[in-house]
Structure 1
């Protein structure tokens, strides 16, 4: 006999309350309602335009982080609350996502069919008509290069009928067993943003758990971070954290990591050269800082990244 809900669903809000309300509405429309909804608010007090709790159903538990403590730390606040409910699973969902009503049911059915799977993910689509795939399983190549399977393909063109083992699952939609968290611990917070869920999946695999994709699952991700130019925090944390991740799991030398990062850096550099050539110097300086911090083992939040403006 269970003492609480089977699933504790965690959404980490950051500034955009309307996104989170839309996400929660879709979660509450799930065909499987055996879930406790938990929202962690990472919004800084100076950017809070409303009390998030006032916008949500009273049944939703809200937790204030007191500010932007990072994605993993926000998730961990929710996970610690979830563990007190004795939930069998924790489900992480991005606030800018809309969930198909049947997704949770399919995730749980897949977990039941594969008890050795500790982390289960779903197909993530954009909001196009027809939608294209953003994520259909994570692949790790070389010394830590990551890519999303089937990215850019139309959803209806890619078969979806069987469980697949993958290298990692993105934190935009990640179902994890309570036993995995009890065994390996919480999501690593030192990354602050990006690569933390990849680290978590590999850690779980080293502990003997499989990472799989569940068929017939869909969420739509209304990403705010897309555009012609990258945000400074995206460039900084992606480069710095890639160094940390590759050294941790692949014992990669810095020159190997830098070589594998070159296509990422050069690709964004070309975009900036085309759309904002006067900011090329700032971009190159930011990359140098990120790589140096990665090499020196500097982790966590770095506040001065907001000083770089090339968006």
Structure 2
């Protein structure tokens, strides 16, 4: 299968450049595309075969991926991955073999990290939370509700039918895509073949608090019934946020943690506010740039910090 690998980049560039080198020598990868959401110009040490795109503004995760898809002739599949994921040739072969099945639209490998098996997901709770737990590995491919956007193989035909939505900007777009693909008749599978998730990056606290809160409610409003939306909002405002605040008070967390709570509250409020169309995003994204000078994905040259890399390494 002709495969185009896509990395949506933001932050210190070394991990992204390293991943492009690894992907460029793999025989299964035909194109390597980087969308630089931080507007970083092409580094001198990037291989000439790599397509490095500098958009006019930060496009977010889904928007960056969609932008990349329009830069090359439509392949058979896309490999969308974060720059903190490492995979071997055999894992790519195993996932592509599954994706070649007529009814399969999305495939993910089994992720492992330094702690062992990477937390997987079993589905959604009644309040549209995403429970993560250690998934018991099997020796065969399994149908799953969704696979993480940290690494997913997406059949081009599937993505043409149900393209990744742009509105979320960050978080929940992978879950939304898999749900719509399954509803359209495509299978979502996880392979027993493994990939390594280094988890070396860090997501700014405003980003990690704001977008999950907002996008959970947007996701509920998109896919749920009014009663489910009300339940998700009530749980977020009356249970999760107060519990988080109490935990910080009990453990005497630093002021930064209290600020993170404020970001989550802003996200919950925005989650009940105007929601853009699926193929557009709010005009002032990234919204978190309004409240922090180093918001994730801000379209300006980043300040490298030890151990930090792309903001999309958040799955």
**TM-score range, shorter-chain basis?**
0.7 to 0.9
CA distance in 2, matches of 1:135, 1:307: 31
91-100 or 167-176, which deviates more: 91-100
* Contact map agreement 1:136 1:213 (CA 8 A) in 2: no
Select the residue among 158, 177, 188 that pairs with 1:180: 158
1:118 aligns with 2:105: yes
CA distance in 2, matches of 1:177, 1:109: 12
Please give the secondary structure, in 2, of the residue aligned with 1:225. Answer: coil
Sort the Cα spacing of 1:246 and 1:37 in 2 relative to 1 into closer, same or farther, 3 A.
Answer: same
Sort the Cα spacing of 1:290 and 1:58 in 2 relative to 1 into closer, same or farther, 3 A.
Answer: same
Partner of 1:154: none
Select the residue among 90, 98, 114 that pairs with 2:78: 90
CA distance in 2, matches of 1:283, 1:220: 25
Q: How does 1:261-272 map to 2 (within 5 A)?
A: 261=236, 264-265=240-241, 268-269=244-245, 272=248
Select the residue among 21, 24, 41 that pairs with 2:17: 21
CA distance in 2, matches of 1:246, 1:161: 34
Partner of 2:264: 287
5+ unaligned residues in a row in structure 1: which ranges? 152-157
TM-score under structure 2 normalisation? 0.80
Please give the secondary structure, in 2, of the residue aligned with 1:296. Answer: coil
* Contact map agreement 1:117 1:212 (CA 8 A) in 2: yes
Please give the secondary structure, in 2, of the residue aligned with 1:288. Answer: helix
* Contact map agreement 2:111 2:117 (CA 8 A) in 1: yes
CA distance in 1, matches of 2:35, 2:189: 26
Q: How does 1:1-311 map to 2 (within 5 A)?
A: 6-30=2-26, 32-44=27-39, 48=40, 51-82=41-72, 84=73, 86-112=74-100, 114-126=101-113, 128=114, 131-150=115-134, 158-184=136-162, 186-225=163-202, 231-253=205-227, 254-261=229-236, 264-265=240-241, 268-269=244-245, 272-273=248-249, 274=251, 276-278=253-255, 282-298=259-275, 300=282, 301=285, 302=287, 303-306=289-292
* Contact map agreement 2:123 2:130 (CA 8 A) in 1: yes
Partner of 2:305: none
Sort the Cα spacing of 1:22 and 1:258 in 2 relative to 1 into closer, same or farther, 3 A.
Answer: same
| C-alpha displacement of 1:207 | 1.1
Greater percentage in helix: 1
* Contact map agreement 2:10 2:38 (CA 8 A) in 1: yes
Greater RCO (Cα-Cα under 8 Å, separation 6 or more): 2
TM-score under structure 1 normalisation? 0.81
1:156-214 CA-partner distances (Å, limit 9, x unpaired): xx433111111111111111111112212x31111111001111111111111111111
Q: What's the RMSD between the two structures over aligned residues?
A: 2.6
* Contact map agreement 1:269 1:283 (CA 8 A) in 2: no
* Contact map agreement 1:244 1:297 (CA 8 A) in 2: no
